[in-house]
């Protein structure tokens, strides 16, 4: 006997769900429309996946103008809000009989091909889903909230009608993010993660060359992946540098 088909959600369920949790923006998309590279497609995490629901929490001014403690607290708040919302949404979909899986905003990390990344590139998925556009600073630009949304997602086998954010903004290629980056991590449309202060500030300078070389090795990368995911929860991770965000013309948006 075949498994029963998952239920469906009425049109008002997701808007009400996210409003109750003070999540200002979300979208849903057909996962077959995502141009994810091999190894990073939702169906490689959940083979029966049909839809992805992406959502964003607003990064408040504390993350950009606060003290070190305030920035760490804001990062903790954002991560907690996104993860709890993702878990609640997963439970809602599971109750409807739809296999689902959360894609958290941070952990777990994956090290492969010399790069540090998450399970999926949420910003690329969001761009493919019409939730926003990518800028030269490798950040998502939402039509209303600019580049100030922190993202998470849930993938599910339930077929959910795609939504649209309307007319998408466009990167002006003004070069402000590249000029503002203190580490020179941006250039010619490429973002070099091993130069970004949001990574290097957590890696002692004397071991960086060795660490970057080990990240390119297949078996060493697996060990680093394991070690990072064990150690990271003990750190008060924060956005140590937001220069490329605040320099962007899409940064100054109204807060709700």
Q: Which residues contact 74 (CB under 8 A, 6 or more apart)?
A: 59, 60, 62, 63, 66, 238
pLDDT at 235: 58
Rg (CA), the chain: 19
Residue with tokens 């009608």: 161
pLDDT at 238: 60
pLDDT at 241: 84
pLDDT at 1: 37
* Contact between 24 and 256 (Cβ < 8 Å): yes
Q: How far apart are CA 88 and CA 68, in angstroms?
A: 30
pLDDT tens digits, the chain, 256 residues: what are they? 345 557 678 889 999 999 999 999 999 999 988 887 666 788 888 999 999 999 999 999 888 888 888 888 888 899 899 999 999 999 999 999 999 999 887 655 666 666 666 678 888 889 999 999 999 988 899 999 999 999 999 999 999 999 877 778 889 899 999 999 988 888 776 788 777 777 776 677 776 677 767 677 666 766 666 666 566 555 555 667 889 999 999 997 655 4
* Contact between 126 and 139 (Cβ < 8 Å): no
For residue 213, the surrounding DSSP H or E stretch is helix 208-215
| Pairing label, strands 51-58, 149-156 | antiparallel
Domain residue ranges of the chain, discontinuous segments joined by +: 1-251
């Amino acid at each position: 006997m075949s498994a029963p088909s998952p239920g469906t959600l009425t049109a008002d369920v997701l808007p009400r769900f996210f409003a109750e949790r003070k999540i200002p923006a979300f979208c849903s998309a057909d996962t077959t429309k995502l141009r994810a590279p091999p190894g990073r497609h939702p169906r490689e995490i959940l083979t029966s996946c049909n839809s992805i629901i992406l959502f964003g929490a607003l990064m408040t001014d504390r993350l950009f103008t606060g003290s070190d403690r305030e920035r760490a607290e804001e990062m903790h708040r954002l991560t907690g809000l996104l993860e709890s919302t993702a878990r609640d949404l997963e439970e809602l979909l599971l109750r409807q009989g739809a296999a689902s899986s959360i894609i958290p905003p941070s952990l777990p990390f994956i090290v492969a091909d010399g790069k540090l990344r998450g399970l999926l590139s949420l910003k690329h998925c969001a761009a493919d889903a019409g939730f926003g556009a990518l800028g030269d600073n490798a950040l998502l630009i939402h039509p209303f909230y600019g580049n100030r949304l922190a993202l998470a997602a849930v993938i599910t086998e339930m077929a959910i009608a795609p939504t649209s954010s309307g007319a998408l903004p466009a990167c002006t290629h003004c070069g402000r993010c590249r000029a503002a980056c203190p580490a020179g991590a941006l250039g010619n449309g490429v973002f070099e993660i091993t130069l970004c202060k949001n990574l290097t500030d957590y890696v002692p300078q004397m071991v960086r060359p060795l660490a970057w070389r080990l990240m390119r090795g297949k078996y060493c990368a697996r060990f680093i992946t394991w070690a990072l995911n064990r150690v990271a929860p003990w750190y008060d991770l924060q956005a140590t540098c937001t220069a490329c965000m605040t320099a962007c013309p899409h940064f100054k948006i109204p807060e709700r």
